[in-house]
Amino acid sequence: MFSRTTQPPEYTALALHAEDEPLTKDVDRDSDLPAQSGSDDFPPVQPQSQLLPKLVLYASLALALLSTVNVLLLPTTLHQYLSYPFSEQELKDLPFPDQRLGLDRAAAAIPPPQVYYRAWPDRIVRVSRKLKNAVYGDGVQVYVTVEDSTIMRFPVPEQGNACAVSWIPPPTYSGRNNDLTTKGDISEVEVWSVLPSPSSTNPYPGEGEIEYENISYSTLPRGELLGVLDLTQGPNSTTQEFACPRDGEALVVEFMCQRVACHVSFMQIEMEPKFGMS
């Protein structure tokens, strides 16, 4: 017979890990194993800041390669272009077939050249300050001294706006040098305007007609000083520009000399070579 006795169960402690850690720690470690084992199948993700320099490097290399290819192909392309120039029809088909684009508007931008009209006197009259009532009449004698002056009338074109009086001396080796007589200081020959006196038909000053056959120093209607001529200058001497008479009227001026012992005399005849006042 066997007697049956009941003993209380004994408590058995859990075995510790090799590193003296509780087993529960191993359980926690084991929970991470699937993630670590999975990391062998997928590469680690790199940050974007590390990828950007590589992309810039690859783009630079590609651009350098493309530029090299274009440079290598440039001689061949230029040779083909020069070997086959554009035809006239192909040039006309271009958006701007005129190779001188814009030159057609250059003429409008450039101001027209100045055109000078030279006129010689058609009336020459001498008057005397000493003999104020003496009448010499119209002729070709030019006589300018301290006591004498000369009146000249110059035709003016209708389109003339600015006028000037000039002195043209005879050529150096010309026979007409003997026609000119000068004495004293002739560096300041004054040019004065002459305004016709009012008349019954022309009541406004400057619009009448001068009677050149009867004019004298006492009846001379003098205007204003227009300029000064230096007869010693060459190849010519010209006054400053001034306003021309309106409506194509003739320009009438008086030449006088204020210098002591000033004397200029010559015959202004229309023959070559021309010289005198113009």
Spatial neighbors of 241 by CB under 8 A, at least 6 apart, are: 162, 163, 164
Q: What is the pLDDT of residues 39-77, one digit of tens each?
A: 455 556 556 667 778 888 888 899 989 888 888 888 887
Q: What is the pLDDT of residues 184-217, one digit of tens each?
A: 888 889 999 887 654 444 444 444 577 888 888 8
Residue 226 CB burial class (10 angstroms; 0-12, 13-18, ≥19): buried
Predicted local distance difference test score (pLDDT) of residue 162: 85
Residue 268: pLDDT over 70 = yes
Residue with tokens 């350098």: 64
Q: Choose between 206 and 176: higher pLDDT.
A: 176
- As a whole number of angstroms, the distance between CA 142 and CA 123 comes to 11
Tell me what the pLDDT averaged over the chain comes to.
76
The reported pTM is 0.56
> Quick one: what percent of the chain has pLDDT higher than 90?
5
- Which structure tokens are listed for 150? 């000369």
Q: Which among 170, 158, 174 is positioned nearest to 236, based on CA atoms? A: 170
Predicted local distance difference test score (pLDDT) of residue 111: 79
Do 202 and 221 touch, CB atoms closer than 8 A? no
- As a whole number of angstroms, the distance between CA 87 and CA 178 comes to 69
Question: 3-class DSSP state for residue 34?
Answer: helix
- As a whole number of angstroms, the distance between CA 104 and CA 88 comes to 20
pLDDT-based confidence at residue 98 (cuts at 50, 70, 90): low
Q: How many residues in the chain?
A: 278
C-alpha 199, offset from chain centre: 50
Instruction: Give the pLDDT mean for 89-109.
Output: 71
Q: Which among 176, 187, 180 is positioned nearest to 237, based on CA atoms? A: 187
Predicted local distance difference test score (pLDDT) of residue 47: 62
pLDDT-based confidence at residue 30 (cuts at 50, 70, 90): very low
Spatial neighbors of 239 by CB under 8 A, at least 6 apart, are: 164, 165, 166, 191, 226, 227, 228, 229
Predicted local distance difference test score (pLDDT) of residue 39: 46
